[in-house]
């Protein structure tokens, strides 16, 4: 590995393509930083290409973006005979170099003969998906690192349905990337007829917002006396969200210190709705105004976090599993009451999402399909049934990390749809005098208590990557027979594509191969282990079940610790 690092490092230092500032940054790198920047080429994971901004083969920079874009252009031209005229939509978030990367992508696609559509400034990920569909483009590029810290940026690619590329579709693209020269010398094949770059006007914004408004179920609920705190975490959703709130008549107090499109995220300690630090400023404002609800979108606007005024007079946060389950129950309950629930409905979730949502969906007569982590699998499944011309009717899709979709006019999770329905749901309960903690408690009384817990362990650099691989190899080869003396009754090995039962019998999984192992325990609890597709981390997902909530969180944490200890993970 050291030879690869040194060869890549020296190649960059010697290249005339690398400017003096980047070369200076390279010379200042310590051993660990150099190792992490050059031990591999930056990879496409569950959400595309994502990494730290800076010089290096394992970094987000103009060179790695260039190579990915040249490959994506070649891929589209091979796949779609009319790719040049239909074009590609490109959008971006608020991060450092996002606009520069967007303009570079457009230039490269034009050089290859493809039309490029760009917005006048940043737009959220769901609107990028929407625009691809609206314009009938052949693909899309979203420059974003989602909820990652400020030093990151990223690159996501979409097909002509507005969905991120699933493994079966992305393989030809990866093959093209592998066949190209290195990132410093690769050049686009220059088309005879160059493409043009078209700047989009407000037509897309207006159409998208109009469709978002259509997700409401009870739009006429009285809004007076119900206060909402909203923050976009410096990201892309502010303009669209405020339009939606104003049109619907909600009383919204935005966290103005987090409404600027600041690439340094100076008004927040974390832009990630999963982290408690993201709620510090919104909580201050909620207490000042005695607000009923806090909603936030992450920087690229595809995820939504929720906090609320509880029955105890305190502000509490929902996990993505909890908020998703409560919203799912509200949506299905109200659609059923109004005669809008399909007789052949389906819920889509992921294999690491809480079992609670599946139980709720089945109680309303829905079927459930669970996929690997990544909303692209849900988007692809919606398209599959559309193309088939028959199949279950989409009712709801969600995952544990605060992403959900109410109506599939986009093919990715949609934070604006989510905040609108979370506000409606909270208002509906408010009008009945039911705080959201009581509403969720009532839900668990119906379906049992579920404590879902996620823990991330960092594995930085080439040594970390090797260590993480060794842990997963051990799980594949020798999965534990028990955890905390609770018997493992089923091992779902998605890399091997095999589900093995306690009695030794086995069957093939129905999902694509992926580096995930899920252990089902005798008491109904489960643990899933998955290396992150976007960060150098391994994630441990745990769900503990019980007849009451007392000690359940501690039990979930203990299960995670016990498994990590058995694997030698600190």
160-216 pLDDT per residue, tens: 999 999 988 889 999 999 999 999 999 999 999 999 999 999 999 999 999 999 999
Q: Residue 457: which residues within 8 A CB-CB, separation 6 or more?
A: 537, 538, 539, 540, 564, 569, 570
Nearest to residue 304, comparing CAs of 224, 226, 413, 217? 413
Contact at 8 Å (CB) between 446 and 326? no
> Which of 263, 269, 233 lies closest to 96 in space, CA to CA?
263
Give kind and range of the element (H or E) at residue 340.
Answer: none
| CATH number of 223-446, picked from 2.40.50.100, 3.40.640.10, 3.40.120.10, 1.10.150.20 | 3.40.120.10
Eight-class DSSP state of 54? S
What is the pLDDT, as a whole number, of residue 559? 95
Which one has a higher pLDDT value, 28 or 535?
Answer: 28
Contact 98, 92 (CB under 8 A): yes
Model pLDDT, residue 26: 96
Does residue 31 surpass a pLDDT of 70? yes
Q: CA 514, CA 11: separation in Å to the nearest integer?
A: 33
Provide the CB-side half-sphere exposure for 347 (13 A, CA). Answer: 29
> Is residue 12 pLDDT above 90, yes or no?
yes
Q: Which helix (H) or strand (E) holds 27?
A: helix 20-27
- 3 pLDDT band, cuts 50/70/90, is confident
Judge whether residue 537 has pLDDT over 90: no
Q: Which fold has domain 449-566?
A: TATA-Binding Protein (3.30.310)
Extents of the domains making up the chain? 1-39, 40-201, 223-446, 449-566
Which has the closest alpha carbon to 542: 483, 498, 496? 483
Q: What is the C-alpha to C-alpha distance for residues 70 and 115, in angstroms, rounded to an integer? A: 14
Is the distance from CB of 140 to CB of 75 less than 8 angstroms?
A: no
Q: Which two tokens stand for residue 220?
A: 């006429």
Catalytic residues: 146
For residue 549, give every residue at least 6 positions away whose Cβ sits within 8 Å of its Cβ, in sequence order, or none.
444, 449, 451
Beta bridge partners of 490: 501, 520
Q: Please, are residues 377 and 355 in contact by the beta-carbon 8 Å criterion? A: no
Rounded to an integer, the average pLDDT of 354-362 is 98
What confidence score (pLDDT) does residue 223 get? 97
Q: How far apart are CA 231 and CA 278, in angstroms?
A: 10
Of 457 and 545, the one with more pLDDT: 545
Residue entry with tokens 């973006």: 65
The pLDDT of 497-516, averaged and rounded, is 92
CATH superfamily of 40-201: Alpha-D-Glucose-1,6-Bisphosphate, subunit A, domain 3 (3.40.120.10)
Asked if residue 493 lies in contact with residue 499, where contact means CB atoms within 8 angstroms, the answer is: yes
Determine the average pLDDT of the residues in 548-555: 93
Q: What is the DSSP string of 61-113?
A: SHHHHHHHHHHHHHHHHHH-TTHHHH-EEEEE-SSTTHHHHHHHHHHHHHHTT
Burial (CB < 10 A; 0-12, 13-18, 19+), residue 547, is: exposed
Q: For 113-159, what is each residue's pLDDT tens digit?
A: 999 999 999 999 999 999 999 999 999 999 999 999 999 999 999 99
Tokens of residue 474, six digits: 């051990």
Exposure class string for 187-217: b at 16+ Cβ within 10 A, else e: ebeebeeebebeebeeebbeebbebbbebbb
Report which DSSP code applies to 53.
B
Q: Would you state the pLDDT for residue 45? A: 65
Q: Quick one: average pLDDT of 459-480?
A: 86
Tell me which H or E stretch contains 36: helix 31-38
DSSP H or E segment with residue 537: strand 537-546
342 phi, psi to nearest 5 deg = -65, 150
Are 223-446 and 449-566 the same fold in CATH? no
C-alpha–C-alpha distance, residues 227 and 350, integer Å: 33
CA–CA gap between residue 527 and residue 563 (Å, rounded): 9
pLDDT, residue 465, reads 80
**What is the rounded average pLDDT for all residues in the chain?**
95
Task: Please name which of 374, 380, 354, 359 lies closest in space to residue 494, comparing C-alpha atoms.
Answer: 374
What distance lies between CA 564 and its chain's CA centroid?
Answer: 25
- Check: CB of residue 371 under 8 Å from CB of residue 336: no
Instruction: Give the pair of three-digit tokens for residue 529.
Output: 């282990």
The predicted model gives 308-320 an average pLDDT of 97
pLDDT-derived band at 237 (thresholds 50, 70, 90) equals very high
Q: In the structure encoding, which two tokens stand for residue 317, read together? A: 């946060």
Q: Does the structure show a pLDDT above 70 at 46? A: no
- Given a contact cutoff of 8 angstroms between Cβ atoms, the answer to whether 419 and 242 are in contact is no
For residue 139, give the nearest of 151, 129, 152, 153 by alpha carbon. 129
Comparing CA positions, the residue from 392, 335, 390, 381 lying closest to residue 360 is 335
- Distance from the first to the final alpha carbon of the chain: 24
Q: Tell me: pLDDT of 458 over 90.
A: no
Residue 85 has pLDDT above 90, yes or no: yes
State yes or no: pLDDT of 534 exceeds 70: no
Distances (CA, A) of 382 to 103, 213, 379, 415: 31, 21, 5, 18
Cα dihedral 416, 421, 424, 426, rounded to 10, equals: -100
Angle of CA points 278, 280, 283, to nearest 5°:
115
Tell me, what's the pLDDT at 463?
80
Q: Is the pLDDT of residue 437 over 70?
A: yes
């Amino acid at each position: 590995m050291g030879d690869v690092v040194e060869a890549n490092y020296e190649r960059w230092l010697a290249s005339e393509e690398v400017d003096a500032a980047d070369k200076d940054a390279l010379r200042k790198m310590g051993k660990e930083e150099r190792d992490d920047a050059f031990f591999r080429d930056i990879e496409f994971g569950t959400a595309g290409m994502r990494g730290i901004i800076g010089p290096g083969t394992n970094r987000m920079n103009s060179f790695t973006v260039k190579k990915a874009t040249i490959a994506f252009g070649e891929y589209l031209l091979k796949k779609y005979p009319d790719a040049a005229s239909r074009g590609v939509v490109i959008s971006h978030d608020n991060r450092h170099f996002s606009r520069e990367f967007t303009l570079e992508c457009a230039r490269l696609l034009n050089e290859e003969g493809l039309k490029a559509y760009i917005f006048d400034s940043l737009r959220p990920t769901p609107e990028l998906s929407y625009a691809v569909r609206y314009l009938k483009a052949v693909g899309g590029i979203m420059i974003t690192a989602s909820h990652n810290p400020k030093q990151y940026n990223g690159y996501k690619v979409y097909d002509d349905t507005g969905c991120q590329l699933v493994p079966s579709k992305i393989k030809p693209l990866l093959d093209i990337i592998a066949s190209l020269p290195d990132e410093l010398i690769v050049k686009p094949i220059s088309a005879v007829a160059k493409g043009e770059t078209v700047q989009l006007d407000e037509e897309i914004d207006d159409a998208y917002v109009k469709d978002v408004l259509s997700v409401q179920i009870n739009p006429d609920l009285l809004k007076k006396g119900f206060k909402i705190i909203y923050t976009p975490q410096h990201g892309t959703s502010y303009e669209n969200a405020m339009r939606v709130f104003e049109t619907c008549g909600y009383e919204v107090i935005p966290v103005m210190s987090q409404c600027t499109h600041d690439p340094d995220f100076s008004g927040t300690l974390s832009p990630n709705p999963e982290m408690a630090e993201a709620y510090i400023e919104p909580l201050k404002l909620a207490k000042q105004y005695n607000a009923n609800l806090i909603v936030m979108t992450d920087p690229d606007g595809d995820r939504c976090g929720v906090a609320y005024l509880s029955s105890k007079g305190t502000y509490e946060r929902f996990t993505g599993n909890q908020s998703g389950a409560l919203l799912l129950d509200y949506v299905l309950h109200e659609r059923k009451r109004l005669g809008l629930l399909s007789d052949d409905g389906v819920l889509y979730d992921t294999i690491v999402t809480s079992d609670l949502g599946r139980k709720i969906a089945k109680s309303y007569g829905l079927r459930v399909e669970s996929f690997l982590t990544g909303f692209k699998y849900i988007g692809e499944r919606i398209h599959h049934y559309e193309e088939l011309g028959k199949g279950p009717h989409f009712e709801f899709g969600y995952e544990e990390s605060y992403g959900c979709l109410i109506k599939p006019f986009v093919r990715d999770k949609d934070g604006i749809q989510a905040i609108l329905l979370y506000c409606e749901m909270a208002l509906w309960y408010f009008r009945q005098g039911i705080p959201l903690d009581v509403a969720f408690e009532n839900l668990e009384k119906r379906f049992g208590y579920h404590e879902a817990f996620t823990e991330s362990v960092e594995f930085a650099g080439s040594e970390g990557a090797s260590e993480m691989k060794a842990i997963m190899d051990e799980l594949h080869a020798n999965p534990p027979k028990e955890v905390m003396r609770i018997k493992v009754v089923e091992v779902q090995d998605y890399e091997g594509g095999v589900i093995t039962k306690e009695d030794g019998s086995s069957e093939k999984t129905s999902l694509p191969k992926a580096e995930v192992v899920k252990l089902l325990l005798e008491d109904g609890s489960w643990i899933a282990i998955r290396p992150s597709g976007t960060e150098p981390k391994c994630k441990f997902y745990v769900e503990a079940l019980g007849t009451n909530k007392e000690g359940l969180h501690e039990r979930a944490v203990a299960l995670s610790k016990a498994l990590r200890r058995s694997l030698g993970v600190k």
